[in-house]
Structure formats: structure tokens, C-alpha cells
Amino acid sequence: MTRTYLPGILAMATIVVASNILVQFLFGQWLTWGAFTYPFAFLVTDLMNRIYGANAARRVIFVGFVVGVICSLIGTQMQGEFGPLVTLRIAIGSGTAFLVAQLIDVSIFSALKNDKWWRAPLASSIIGSTVDTALFFTIAFSAGLIFLEPSNDVNWANETLPVLGFGPVAPLWMSLAVADWGVKLTLALIALMPFKAITTRWYKNREHSA
């Protein structure tokens, strides 16, 4: 790692740590506060990719993954009202979803980075967020993957009810996933503004220093 990448590394580590803490606190019926911080990991990845290239983005992703694993390990040792704050399935789901989704983000961004400025960050964040949500909630809560941690009772997450309280009947975890996905898509749009502002300022500073 070089000192050049330090802002991206610190930003990614901060987002991962904050999200792991905030995910313990509910926001309404379907979300946690962590849902509002975690999506900005895609912004950090895209900024690193735009400014320093795909390899730099992957290095920052690796740091985020390691920090996430450490947070998960700490969480498995902390007891909450209903057992460990982080179960094995949640740890596996979180790590897998983060790594796969972020690497997909890098690949898509790199393929579109020479197109209009907004297409690469928007497309990569939307697709990455979709993959992240699908992987995490399926691995962490789907009844079909109970073999990952037989001792972990996920019956609560598989209780059937209308999606978000008004849609078709489905397991509870699907409502949680849809709500989470909706926040990610919204923040992917919002993140275009800081992405544009930061990259524009960086290019101007580079021109002045040239």
C-alpha cells in the first residue's frame, strides 16, 4: 500500500466499522441504521477506480474485507439478548457479499469508465448493490442454507408475511432484503453528486500541479 491510497483505505475502513456497529440498531420495521452507511463503500471503490485505477480499488476492497472479517470475529464473541451479535451465517454472508459485490463493481466500472462520467459509477453501484443484497440475505437467512450453521435458528427470518407489509407473501428476510436494496439504489443515485464533485476537484488540482 502507498500513502497515496491512504484516504481511500481510511474511508473504507471507517464505513465498514460504522456499518457493523450501526447494523445493531433498527430504523423502522425493515431496516437498520447500517443500511444508510454501508452503500457508501461503493462510492469509495468507484472514486479509487476513477482516480487511481482498478488495482488501487481492489487493494482498498481487500482492506475493507479484512476489517469486516475482524468486526465479524469480534461480534461472534459479544453476546446480545438473543445470543451472539454476529452468527456464523451472518459473518459468511457479510464477507462473501462484500468481496464479490465490490469486485464486480470494479469490473463493471472499469468496462464503462471511458463512457459518460455517470454511467460507470451508477451501473457498477446498482449491479454491485443488487449482488451484495442477494448474497448477504440469502446466505444469512435462507432456510435452504441451514446446513451452514445448523444450530442457528433462523425460523424468525423465514416467517411468511406480505413483502414490506403490502406485497406478495414471502419470508420475512425477503422484506428486509427489498428494503435494504431500495436504500442502496437510492444512495447510488445520491452518491453521483459527491463522486462528480470529488473527481472534478481532483482533476483540477492535478492540472494546477502539472
Q: What is the pLDDT of residues 90-113, one digit of tens each?
A: 999 999 999 999 999 999 999 999
On the 0-12 / 13-18 / 19+ scale of CB atoms within 10 A, 182 is middle
Instruction: Tell me: pLDDT of 1 over 60.
Output: no
Q: What value, to the nearest 5°, has the Cα angle with vertex 54 and ends 52 and 59?
A: 85
Averaged pLDDT for residues 114-129: 97
Q: Which of 79-83, 154-158, 159-163 has the lowest mean pLDDT?
A: 79-83
Reported pTM: 0.94
CA distances from residue 102 to 43, 83, 131, 139 in whole angstroms, order as listed: 10, 30, 9, 17
The CATH class for the domain spanning 3-209 reads mainly alpha
Write down the domain spans for the chain.
3-209
Say how many Å lie between the first and final Cα of the chain, rounded.
24
- How big is the chain by its Cα radius of gyration, in Å? 18
For 51-86, write each residue's pLDDT tens digit: 999 999 999 999 999 999 999 989 888 766 666 778
